Amino acid sequence: MGQFIDLKAADGHASPVYVAQPAGAAKGGVVVIQEIFGVNSHIQSVADFYAAHGYLAVAPAIFQRVKPGVDLGYSQDDMGAGMALKTAVEALPSPGVMQDIQAAIQHASQAGKVGIVGFCYGGLLTWRSACELDGLSAAAPYYGGGMTTPDEIARKPKVPVQAHFGDQDHWIPLDSVEAFKKAHPQVEVHIYHANHGFNCDQRGSYDAPSAKLAQQRTLEFFARHLG
């Protein structure tokens, strides 16, 4: 189990981050980027998972600039609230929450090389982080909503990327995933027979075989690039 601490971004804004420590010496750092539901029990469990595999895991609260203390579930009402918060975050003046993610990367770097993993909206922010931020060695976005739009495809990653998508994801059409793959042949793209949110065991779309395989691939990917 981890704990929340406050981290200050470059502009002085303080945000809580959930930090999970490995049992022994850290193999590196992993920044975990939330879905639109906040740093809830699921995202904390993801951070705990990476800590259990030897990484210093850091999960920043990326909605803090628009609403403190966001901790949502997965009901339709929660979905609506989360979408509204995402819209508010996207409307922030640049660099917005990217500076909070940068602060999390900096904190994680005390453990060595840093990877980043994110889900849903966090997948999109993970892709942007791979293209814009400093201090990363690898990035693994999961079903990043909006990540396969032309504007996002136009970005160029600075670090190795392993991307995970579901072939039944109505938020991310497969033809857009194919366009992403074509534009970024160096990116390792995996497609699962699953829906959006397949990694989250608190969602109806959870798919255990896909989640387990994606976790295994991500751990191997991080082992290659953070070791």
- Smallest Cα–Cα separation from 151: which of 127, 168, 121? 127
Contact 5, 17 (CB under 8 A): yes
Contact 48, 23 (CB under 8 A): no
Q: Which residues are catalytic?
A: 120, 169, 196
DSSP secondary structure letter of residue 16 = E
Give the residue ranges of DSSP H helices in the chain. Answer: 41-52, 76-90, 98-108, 121-132, 150-153, 174-183, 208-226
Polymer length in residues for the chain: 227
Q: How far is Cα 69 from Cα 113, in angstroms, rounded to an integer?
A: 29
Contact 146, 137 (CB under 8 A): no
One-letter amino acid of 59: A
pTM: 0.98
pLDDT of residue 227: 86
User: Which residues have a Cβ under 8 Å from the Cβ of 167 and sit 6 or more positions away?
Assistant: 174, 191, 192, 193, 194
pLDDT of residue 1: 75
Q: How far is Cα 177 from Cα 75, in angstroms, rounded to an integer?
A: 27
Among left, alpha and beta (phi > 0; psi -120 to 50; other), residue 132 is alpha
Class of CATH domain 3-226? alpha beta
Contact 100, 140 (CB under 8 A): no
Which CA distances in Å does 160 have to 40, 136, 156, 209? 28, 9, 11, 25
Contact 195, 211 (CB under 8 A): no
pLDDT of residue 174: 96
Strand-pairing partners, residue 6, are: 16
One-letter amino acid of 148: T
Straight-line distance from the first to the last Cα atom of the chain, in angstroms, rounded to the nearest whole number: 24
Which CA distances in Å does 143 have to 140, 146, 203? 10, 9, 14
pLDDT of residue 56: 98
Owner of token pair 């600039």: 65
For the chain, residues with pLDDT lower than 70 are none
